[in-house]
Amino acid sequence: MREAKALNIKARTNVISWSFISVAVIMICAFYFYPMIQALIMSFQSGTGTNLSFVGADNYTRLLTDSTFMTTLKNTFLYLIIQVPIMIILALFISVLLNDKDLKLKGFYRTAIFLPAVTSLVAYSVIFKYLFGADGLINAMLLKLHLIAAPIQWITDPFWAKITIIIAITWRWTGYNMIFYLSALQNIDNSIYEAARIDGASAFTQFTKITVPLLKPIILFTSITSTIGTLQLFDEVMNITRGGPGNATMTLSQYIYNLSFKYTPDFGYAATVSYAIVILIVIFSILQFKLAGDKNG
Amino acid sequence: MAKFKRIFTYVFLSAAAIVSIFPFLWMIVSSTNRSIDVTQGRLLPGNYLGENLRKVLDTVDLIPALLNSAKISITTTLLAMLIASLAGYGFEIYRSKAKDTVFSILLLSMMIPFAALMVPLYRMFGSITQTMPFIGIDTISSVILPTVTTAFLIFFFRQSTKMFPKDMLEAGRIDGLSELGVFFRIYVPTMKTSYAAAAIITFMSSWNNYLWPLVVLQSPEKRTIPLLISNLGSGYSPDYGVIMTVILIATLPTAIVFFLMQKHFVAGMTGSVK
């Protein structure tokens, strides 16, 4: 009798314990996993709007010959290869400077450099669009300082438009990444640096031989989140350049948006492009883990 | 050498700080100037803030957009706190092999880019618009539902729960509290700082969310603040003074939250990776 009762209580607690996590599990399944399965099915379908029919792997072959897709892929890679390393090195550098215990105004510097990370992506994009306009403030200042002879077409020239996007993203996210490094740096025992100094290690050696290896997990974390973020880049490009001129700054996310909601809707093909992003994210994450692991061994 | 390093540090950090703050200063200054002054590169505060404000209220649907954004962000934050903390608590306190597996599967959702979800989600909400208009396309619920539960927050609460003194729960149970009672009467009040951190992060990302509301909110009167700003910014003959005033007002709520609770914000960001 008593054993049955104990079992009963155990079963009851088990039910209660699962009910704690049930809402979250249902929500994640409904709004992440179920749509992903839907997208997979849709990626083998084609048609306009909701009239979809199965076309086999047609969408995937179309992907390989789609010049707009290739352009957006190239743009995204360019942002990834140039912007992410610049930002991470800059953030690391700033956080090392800020970690100096004798530094005055530390709180001010930290707050100021972190401030961009709390602004709305749309709001800052619009501000940047005006600052970098052909007759905007940046050009006016550069002209006044005689650094340039003629205004730079920051928004309308294919090359400079990409630079503008890179500057904008770097401005927005450097402080964000810096905070992660700073909180990790504070956990490093200062005596390690003192020992290195006694051994005659230069600041640069200390940085490459102590700081970077110790921060490796957090650098890995930030580079993965930055990579995922860049692969999903949308708000900035949409609001600064609209993807233009032509498709010169268009990203994968924006292409999916255009395929679904701007051009004649082709949800099937849009789903195919979105799987391209998923695959890229998986590949890059594995790659970054591998790279970080190799240096360990 | 040490002196040179010192000077370099201050120069570099000051430059970084100026570059970081400059766009904000420009926004604030421009909101006090006429559009023509802004285009001529005026960097001194003017006295047109009042006129810009009046123009904003006359020509821009700012108040409805603020209310829409507030409704969505506050509801999202409250629901997200409840769902994620219940789950994070459940995963950690009632740990079992099966739940650990479920947890790892949930974490996979963090790898899914929103761009990949947007199209199927749009079709999902589209298909129920006829039968359930209150959660279909163009409703506040359709904005909230897909964004309210994130694996990140569940992970965050699970990590925070690891620090929670477990004997407090036992004490509650001995006092005759139910499992849910223990959660609400003991866990929630003691975890105030974790909730503060999580709430700020959630509120900010909801307030600033752009892509999904852009897809799902179609009527102009449903617009949230980011949609409003984006729309103003894409105009052909923009009134810079007016737009900067709108951006200033739209940025104030998050700026105030940030300055009041900077510590919690940073804790929320970095808490889950430690």
Q: Which residues of B216-226 are buried (b: 16+ CB within 10 A; e: fewer)?
A: bbeeeebbbbb
The share of chain B scoring above pLDDT 70, in percent, equals 98
How many A/B residue pairs have CB atoms within 8 Å?
Answer: 248
Within 8 A by CB and 6+ apart from A163, the residues are A154
Extract the tokens encoding B86.
């219940």
A45 phi and psi, to 5 degrees?
-120, 160
Q: How far apart are CA A267 and CA A270, in angstroms?
A: 5
For residues A115 and A153, membership in a common domain is answered with yes
Residue-level pLDDT at A24: 95
Cis before B45 (ω within 30) = no
Q: Can you state the angle between helices A67-78 and A267-296, rounded to 10 degrees?
A: 30
For residues A115 and A234, membership in a common domain is answered with yes
Q: How far apart are CA B226 and CA B216, in angstroms?
A: 13
Task: Indicate the residue of B226, B250, B270 with minimum beta-carbon distance to A180.
Answer: B270
Cβ within 8 Å, pair A126-B229: yes
Closest to A230 (Cα-Cα) out of A251, A248, A205, A246: A251
Q: How far apart are CA A220 and CA A288, in angstroms?
A: 7
Q: How confident is the model at residue B100 (pLDDT cuts 50, 70, 90)?
A: very high
The parent domain of residue A276 ranges over 62-296
Q: How far apart are CA A262 and CA A239, in angstroms?
A: 15
Cβ within 8 Å, pair A28-B265: no
Q: How confident is the model at residue A3 (pLDDT cuts 50, 70, 90)?
A: low
For residues A9 and A112, membership in a common domain is answered with no
Residue-level pLDDT at B113: 85
Whether residue B80 contacts residue B145, with contact meaning beta carbons closer than 8 Å, is answered with no
On chain A, the residues whose CB falls within 8 A of the CB of B94 are: 13, 16-18, 20
Residue-level pLDDT at A2: 61
Within 8 A by CB and 6+ apart from A295, the residues are A216
On chain A, the residues whose CB falls within 8 A of the CB of B255 are: 118
Residue-level pLDDT at B252: 86
Residue-level pLDDT at B213: 95
Is A257 a residue whose pLDDT tops 70? yes
Task: Indicate the residue of B16, B96, B116 with minimum beta-carbon distance to A36.
Answer: B116
| Nearest chain B Cα distance for residue A63, angstroms | 15
Mean pLDDT of chain B: 88
Closest to B157 (Cα-Cα) out of A177, A21, A30: A21
Extract the tokens encoding A259.
């395929």
In a domain? residue A53: no
Amino acid letter at B247?
A: I
Residue-level pLDDT at A192: 85
Chain B interface includes A82 (CB < 8 A): no
Cβ within 8 Å, pair A179-B148: no
Whether residue B242 contacts residue A288, with contact meaning beta carbons closer than 8 Å, is answered with no
The share of chain A scoring above pLDDT 70, in percent, equals 95
For residues A93 and A161, membership in a common domain is answered with yes
Q: Which of A142-156, A218-232, B92-106 has the highest mean pLDDT?
A: B92-106
Whether residue A277 contacts residue A263, with contact meaning beta carbons closer than 8 Å, is answered with no
Mean pLDDT of chain A: 87
Instruction: Give B261's Cβ-side CA count (13 Å radius).
Output: 22
Calculate mean pLDDT across residues B112-128. 90
| DSSP secondary structure letter of residue A44 | T
pLDDT digits (tens, 9 = 90+) for A197-212: 888 888 888 888 888 8
In a domain? residue A273: yes
Within 8 A by CB and 6+ apart from A136, the residues are A130, A154
Task: Indicate the residue of B24, B38, B87 with minimum beta-carbon distance to A21.
Answer: B87
Residue-level pLDDT at A194: 84
pLDDT digits (tens, 9 = 90+) for B149-206: 999 999 989 988 988 888 888 888 898 888 899 999 999 998 888 898 888 889 988 9
Chain B interface includes A111 (CB < 8 A): yes
pLDDT digits (tens, 9 = 90+) for B63-73: 999 999 999 99
Cβ within 8 Å, pair A119-B229: no
Task: Indicate the residue of A97, A235, A253 with minimum beta-carbon distance to B13.
Answer: A97
In a domain? residue A51: no
Q: Residue A285: closest CA among chain B residues belongs to which residue?
A: B111
Selected residue with higher pLDDT from A170 and B274? A170
| Nearest chain A Cα distance for residue B80, angstroms | 9
Residue-level pLDDT at B1: 64
Is A50 a residue whose pLDDT tops 80? no
Q: How confident is the model at residue B271 (pLDDT cuts 50, 70, 90)?
A: low
Helical H segments across A29-144, by residue range: 34-42, 58-65, 67-78, 84-98, 106-114, 121-131, 137-144
Residue-level pLDDT at A296: 45
- From the DSSP assignment, how many helices (H) and strands (E) are in chain B? 16, 0
For residues A165 and A33, membership in a common domain is answered with no
For residues A69 and A29, membership in a common domain is answered with no
Extract the tokens encoding B78.
């409250």
For the ranges A89-93, A259-263, B35-39, B70-74, which has the lowest average pLDDT?
B35-39
Residue-level pLDDT at A83: 94
Within 8 A by CB and 6+ apart from B239, the residues are B35, B55
For residues A109 and A211, membership in a common domain is answered with yes
pLDDT digits (tens, 9 = 90+) for A112-139: 999 898 888 999 999 999 999 888 888 8
Extract the tokens encoding B156.
């965050």
SS3 state of residue A45 = strand
Residue A49 backbone zone (phi > 0: left; psi -120 to 50: alpha; other: beta)? left
For residues A33 and A77, membership in a common domain is answered with no
In a domain? residue A57: no
Total domain count for chain A? 2
Q: Which of A97-101, A291-295, B205-209 has the highest mean pLDDT?
A: B205-209
For residues A150 and A287, membership in a common domain is answered with yes
The CATH number of the domain holding residue A152 is 1.10.3720.10
The alpha-carbon radius of gyration of chain B (Å, integer) is 23
In a domain? residue A278: yes
Residue-level pLDDT at A297: 34
Q: How far apart are CA A247 and CA B261, in angstroms?
A: 41
Residue-level pLDDT at A273: 92
ipTM greater than cut 0.95: no
Calculate mean pLDDT across residues B89-102. 93
Q: How far apart are CA B163 and CA B101, in angstroms?
A: 22
Q: Which residue has the tokens 């707009």?
A: A68
Cβ within 8 Å, pair B233-A18: no
Residue-level pLDDT at A86: 95
For residues A117 and A79, membership in a common domain is answered with yes
In a domain? residue A54: no
Selected residue with higher pLDDT from A235 and A290? A235
Q: How confident is the model at residue A9 (pLDDT cuts 50, 70, 90)?
A: confident
Q: How far apart are CA A45 and CA A37, in angstroms?
A: 13
Q: Residue B123: closest CA among chain A residues belongs to which residue?
A: A50
Q: How confident is the model at residue A280 (pLDDT cuts 50, 70, 90)?
A: confident
Closest to B94 (Cα-Cα) out of A7, A8, A27, A18: A18
Q: Which domains does chain B have, with CATH numbers?
A: 62-224 (1.10.3720.10)
Task: Indicate the residue of A34, A120, A277 with minimum beta-carbon distance to B115.
Answer: A277
In a domain? residue A35: yes
For residues A160 and A26, membership in a common domain is answered with no
For residues A8 and A69, membership in a common domain is answered with no
